[in-house]
Chain A
Amino acid sequence: MIEHDQDPVQKQSPSNDRQLMTCPPFSPDKLKRELWIDSASRWSAVILIMLVILIFQTGLSSMDFWLLMIPVIILWVAISAPSAKVLPILPQITQWLDQDLPAAENAIAQGLARRPLHRQLRIQLYHRLAIVRHYQTRIDESAAIAQTLLSMSLGASEVHRPQLLLILVESRLLRNDLVGAYAGLNELSRLRLGLLESLQHLALRTRYEVAAGYHTMALADLPRKIHYAQMLPAPQCGSLHLLLAAAAQQVNDPALYDWLMRRAQLLCEPKVLEEFQQGRLAFGVEKPLTIAPL
Chain B
Amino acid sequence: MAKGASRTFHPPTADQVSGHLERYAVVPVSPMQQWMPALIVGVLVLLALSFSNAGITLIVWLAMLGLFLNSFMRARAIRETDKLLARVQELTLERQNFDAMRLAWQVIPQLRARPQQHTRAVALLAHNLEQVRAYEAAVVAFNEVLGKLPDEHPAAVQLRVEQTMALLASDQLTDADIQLRRLRNLLDRFSGSAIAGGFHLALLYQQIRTNHFRDAADNQQGMMDKLRPLGIDAGLGYALLALACYHSAAHVEDPLIKDAQLWWERATLLLPLATLVRRFHELQAIEQGPAIAARMAKPAPPTSDDASTPAQEGGQP
Binding site for B on A (CB under 8 A): 6-10, 56, 62, 65, 99, 194-196, 222-224, 226-227, 230-234, 237, 255-256, 259, 262-263, 266-267, 269, 294
How many chain B residues sit at the interface, stated as a range, is 35 or more
* Interchain Cβ contacts within 8 Å, total number: 84
Rounded to whole angstroms, the CA-CA distance of A266 and B268 in the bound complex is: 12
Rounded to whole angstroms, the CA-CA distance of A99 and B155 in the bound complex is: 11
Residue of A nearest to B298 (CB): A259
Q: Chain A binding site: helix, strand, loop or mixed by DSSP?
A: helix
Select which of A8, A224, A232 is within 8 A of B155 by beta carbon.
A8
Select which of A234, A259, A267 is within 8 A of B299 by beta carbon.
A259
Rounded to whole angstroms, the CA-CA distance of A195 and B93 in the bound complex is: 9
Q: Chain B binding site: helix, strand, loop or mixed by DSSP?
A: helix
A8→B119 contact, CB < 8 A: yes
B78 on interface, CB distance cutoff 8 Å: no
B231→A9 contact, CB < 8 A: no
Enumerate 7 A-B pairs (CB-CB under 8 Å) in ascending A order.
A8-B116, A8-B155, A10-B150, A56-B49, A62-B49, A196-B90, A230-B301
Binding site for A on B (CB under 8 A): 49, 86, 90, 93-94, 115-116, 119-120, 123, 145, 148-150, 153-155, 194, 224, 228-232, 234, 266, 269-270, 297-304
Given A237-B232, A263-B269, 19 further pairs, Cβ under 8 A: A6-B120, A6-B155, A8-B119, A8-B123, A8-B153, A9-B116, A9-B148, A10-B155, A194-B86, A224-B302, A227-B302, A230-B231, A230-B301, A259-B269, A262-B269, A266-B270, A267-B228, A267-B231, A267-B232
A222→B299 contact, CB < 8 A: yes
When distances are taken between beta carbons in the complex, the residues of chain A under 8 Å from B155 are: 6, 8, 10
B266→A7 contact, CB < 8 A: no
Rounded to whole angstroms, the CA-CA distance of A227 and B224 in the bound complex is: 22
A7→B301 contact, CB < 8 A: no
CB distance from B144 to the nearest CB of A (A): 12
